[in-house]
Structure 1
Amino acid sequence: MTYQPVIPFSGFAGWRFLSRTMETQKAAFAASSENQRLDRYFRETIGSIDTAQELVDDRRLLSVALGAFGLDADIDNKYFIRKVLEEGSLDRTALANKLSDKSYLALTKAFGFGDFAIPRTKHSTFADEILNQFESREFEVAVGGVDNDMRMAMSLQRDLPALAARDMSEPAKWYTIIGSPALSRVFQTALNLPPSVGALDVEQQRDIYMTKAQRVYGTSDPAELAAPEKLVALTRDYLLRAQLSNMASVSPQNVALSLLRNTGAQGLSLRL
């Protein structure tokens, strides 16, 4: 039976509980019989895989490969995934370099079918590398089954610091945020922007995000927003605003009571 994460509260209070128990819960999730069977199969089999075709032909291996990069939904798009893997990342015209979602680029770089004569599946540390990512991502999926806002908050903790560390200009980082379904959702909610902003020209979106971030957090630089204190503030604002949105159909009395329980004792506030 698959382990179900325990999240007793919604909003930022639930996030604090999940953060405190994260490692214990992740270990329990990874130890489930279903995950252990998949772990063993991947370790025993991945080293024999020489081509992208062989990988996509093995559904269990492919489920781990895609899951490690948050691409689970593409499990049946075998031709597309094979093309991404075979074309690699070195050629600027390769499919992965053309896609706005850079998860595909990370996938093809990790496996190396299109970049090297000998794929990275042959490396002794490869199974550990992919399985560690897979288990973390799958735990996020399991958390999302309980509370999807928590899953988005977990994605933020992983993706924003990684983006901040990349050698890119500030505007380029904002384009990456806008192009990421998870990051754009978190920032849009935390900054109290309407969903309609997503229909604007990408340069207009960038300017709106940067202006609002500067006003709310005192910086428009994603690298500074990934710093510990700013990241906590961004996570808090996202979760509180998401909680308010989720409570839109609930009576005002229950909304107020829930928010008091979740935030009052912690001195939290929402900023406009």
Structure 2
Amino acid sequence: MITTYTSYAMISRDLPKSLARVAEKPDVARETEYYLSKIGSIKTLDDFMADTRVYNYALKAHGLEDMAYAKAFIRKVLAEGTDADTDFANKLSDSRYASLVESLNFAAHGAAATSFEKAQKGVVDKFQRQTLEEEAGAENMGVRLALYFERMAPTIKSGMEILADDALSEVMRTTLQLPDEIVGTDLDRQAKYIEEVVDIEDFQDPAKVGKFLERFTAMWELENPSESYDPASLFTSSSSGISTDLLISINNLKLGGK
């Protein structure tokens, strides 16, 4: 039986080949072709929201596929941008929303937002990577978690950012074997503990990330027999702090439920 680490390493060490294989899958190729054929002609946020296939493609590329139904929420994220600390995306602990704005920054660039490479090839690259991770997770959720952590590691700046993301938090909890007395405490204390036992700056070093994930994959196999683990919840809206669904409910009150 192939181990979690071996499976992860096989994908990670030849990532371009792995991504090329995903890109050639008929369903991926079809949606990518459509996205690239349409995105350049989209000039407004309304245009973007109106094209369901483009909208869904972009959200999946940023790991937000499960939030596609919340159009008023996503509209608010994109309409405000990220230039000010008070902008909606910057208030959310989940960095995926700010990443979506970075790719499609209608607030800052207006009609030119979709003309940049980050809105075209950049989103396609993200979509293919997201699909690769999901495909790996169908076989072994530990591999998906490792690939996700590897991708996100350079963006991690604090223990709180880890706790705000259920998938990153699961990797950290598993790797460090966090005791129940820590997991059950408030988030500030958990974040402080993580920063005491892990040098967050190490996540800027691919070699150190690799060592960290080698330990994670070993601990994952000890903790999670495949027949007893339900992986789905780790890549839905974060359950740390105020949930996204609650934020949507609050926001809908402000927007009149539109």
Normalized against structure 1, the TM-score is what?
0.76
Equivalent of 2:31 in 18, 25, 38: 38
Instruction: Write the deviation string for residues 126-167 of structure 1: whole angstroms up to 9, x where unpaired.
Output: 31111111111111111111111101100111111233xxxx
Matched, 1:203 2:188: yes
Q: Which amino acid aligns with 1:53?
A: D
Aligned to 1:235: 213
Query: What is the CA distance between 1:11 and its match in structure 2?
Result: 2.2
Q: SS where residue 158 of structure 2 aligns?
A: helix
Query: What is the CA distance between 1:66 and its match in structure 2?
Result: 0.8
Alpha-carbon distance between aligned partners in 1 of 2:207 and 2:14, rounded to the nearest angstrom:
20
Aligned to 2:76: 83
Q: Which amino acid aligns with 1:101?
A: D
Q: SS where residue 45 of structure 1 aligns?
A: helix
Q: SS where residue 62 of structure 2 aligns?
A: coil
Instruction: Write the deviation string for residues 209-245 of structure 1: whole angstroms up to 9, x where unpaired.
Output: 133x2xxxxxx32112442342122101111111111
Query: What is the CA distance between 1:116 and its match in structure 2?
Result: 2.6
Gaps in structure 2 of 5+ consecutive residues: 229-258
Aligned to 1:269: none
Query: What is the CA distance between 1:90 and its match in structure 2?
Result: 1.4
| Matched ranges for 1:144-159 at <5 A | 144-159=137-152
Alpha-carbon distance between aligned partners in 2 of 1:56 and 1:10, rounded to the nearest angstrom:
42
In the alignment of these two chains, the number of paired residues is 228
Matched, 1:26 2:15: no
Aligned to 1:264: none
Aligned to 1:131: 124
Equivalent of 2:158 in 173, 187, 204: 173
Q: SS where residue 178 of structure 2 aligns?
A: coil
| Aligned CA-pair RMSD | 2.3
Q: Which amino acid aligns with 2:193?
A: I
Q: SS where residue 115 of structure 1 aligns?
A: helix
Q: SS where residue 108 of structure 2 aligns?
A: coil
Q: SS where residue 101 of structure 1 aligns?
A: coil
Alpha-carbon distance between aligned partners in 2 of 1:180 and 1:14, rounded to the nearest angstrom:
23
In structure 2, relative to structure 1, the CA distance for the partners of 1:122 and 1:13 (3 Å cut) is closer
Q: Which amino acid aligns with 1:63?
A: N
Alpha-carbon distance between aligned partners in 1 of 2:96 and 2:106, rounded to the nearest angstrom:
16
Aligned to 1:253: none
Alpha-carbon distance between aligned partners in 2 of 1:124 and 1:63, rounded to the nearest angstrom:
19
Alpha-carbon distance between aligned partners in 1 of 2:226 and 2:134, rounded to the nearest angstrom:
25
Aligned to 2:233: none
| Matched ranges for 1:62-77 at <5 A | 62-77=55-70
Q: Which amino acid aligns with 2:162?
A: I
Alpha-carbon distance between aligned partners in 2 of 1:146 and 1:39, rounded to the nearest angstrom:
24
CA contact (8 A) 2:35 2:54 kept: yes
Aligned to 2:245: none
Normalized against structure 2, the TM-score is what?
0.80
Alpha-carbon distance between aligned partners in 1 of 2:110 and 2:7, rounded to the nearest angstrom:
48
Matched, 1:161 2:154: yes
Aligned to 2:223: 245
Q: Which amino acid aligns with 1:203?
A: D
Q: Which amino acid aligns with 1:222?
A: I
Q: Which amino acid aligns with 1:178?
A: L
Matched, 1:15 2:8: yes
Query: What is the CA distance between 1:43 and its match in structure 2?
Result: 1.0
- Stretch moving more, 198-207 or 71-80: 198-207
Q: Which has the larger radius of gyration?
A: 1
Q: SS where residue 48 of structure 1 aligns?
A: coil
Query: What is the CA distance between 1:104 and its match in structure 2?
Result: 0.3
Matched, 1:190 2:175: yes
Aligned to 2:52: 59
